Amino acid sequence: MVSTPPTQESTVPTLIIRPPRKWVPVDLHELWAYRELVTSFTLRDIKLRYKQTGLGIAWAVLQPLLTMVIFTVFFGGLAKIPSDGVPYPLFVLAALLPWTLFAEGLTRSTTSMVTNANIMTKVYFPRLIMPLSSIISPLVDFAVSFIILIAMMVYYGYAPTLNIIFLPLFLLLALATSLGVGLWLSALNVKYRDFQYTVPFLIQIGMFASPVVYASSLVPESLRVWYGLNPMAGVIEGFRWALLGSGTPSAMVLVSVGMVIVLLVSGMFYFRRMEQYYADIV
């Protein structure tokens, strides 16, 4: 067989994009290059959430408020659970905001790979963008609910202290926790679709395993460090401390921060490792 010399067209280099086959870290440089796509996915999720809705943005206020009322009646009124000297409605609402942000982001990120299957199989972009945008979009609900929390602080006569400068840190920790767990579950949900149905149950269990309706001071001091293995325990206690001045940061918070880092880093590695199977399975 006589081979023909390569033409000008055949000498053009071809770039073949293959998913990684080893445990490699996330390419943060590539992720930054696609930052506009993160914004586009986030805005799309926000628009879809409030499109053709009756309550609209009001649901962001009603959900934590109604939950706060129920918890106040049963846990604050009937069970008489102490709240570290803070009015119980304010005590609970200050915990519900970071918890709702975490839970909503976790729910959306778990199903993000499956719901975006059509896009994922047609064009290449860093797959991490999908769960990442899913945990950012609930910030709109958080911002609206935060205004109600500030109004309640004014009503009860609680002025923010200098501790409030640490509030963005604990907000970032809540998002990082949601992303870390969401990366694990979104990757697993591609292969095992029943993982998305376990998330509501895990969120219900996690709420009572976290200091939402009670203070972490009720946990025996000898067990408090172990209690910090629940990353949201440190996030919620830190959130209350930054806003209301209740409690003081302890070793439990440091343990929670360590757990957030472990979840986030391991979630990124596992998500990246499973990336080679997404397009074929989904």
Q: How far apart are CA 102 and CA 138, in angstroms?
A: 9
Confidence of residue 117 (pLDDT cuts 50, 70, 90): confident
Task: Check pLDDT > 90 for residue 213.
Answer: yes
Confidence of residue 104 (pLDDT cuts 50, 70, 90): very high
Confidence of residue 279 (pLDDT cuts 50, 70, 90): low
Q: For residue 217, which amino acid is it?
A: S
253: left (phi over 0), alpha (psi -120 to 50) or beta: alpha
- Please give the residue that has the higher pLDDT: either 222 or 20: 222
Q: Using only the alpha carbons of the chain, give its radius of gyration.
A: 22
Q: What is the mean pLDDT of the chain?
A: 84
pLDDT of residue 275: 76
- Lowest-confidence segment of 17-21, 164-168, 185-189, 200-204 by average pLDDT: 17-21
pLDDT of residue 90: 94
Confidence of residue 278 (pLDDT cuts 50, 70, 90): low
Task: Check pLDDT > 60 for residue 62.
Answer: yes
Per-residue pLDDT of 229-245, as tens digits, reads: 999 999 999 999 999 88
Task: Check pLDDT > 70 for residue 121.
Answer: yes
Torsion angle, alpha carbons of 258, 261, 264, 267, to 10 = -70
Task: Check pLDDT > 50 for residue 1.
Answer: no
pLDDT of residue 73: 93
Q: What's phi and psi for 252, nearest 5 deg?
A: -60, -40
pLDDT of residue 78: 87
Per-residue pLDDT of 64-101, as tens digits, reads: 889 999 999 999 888 889 888 899 999 999 999 999 99
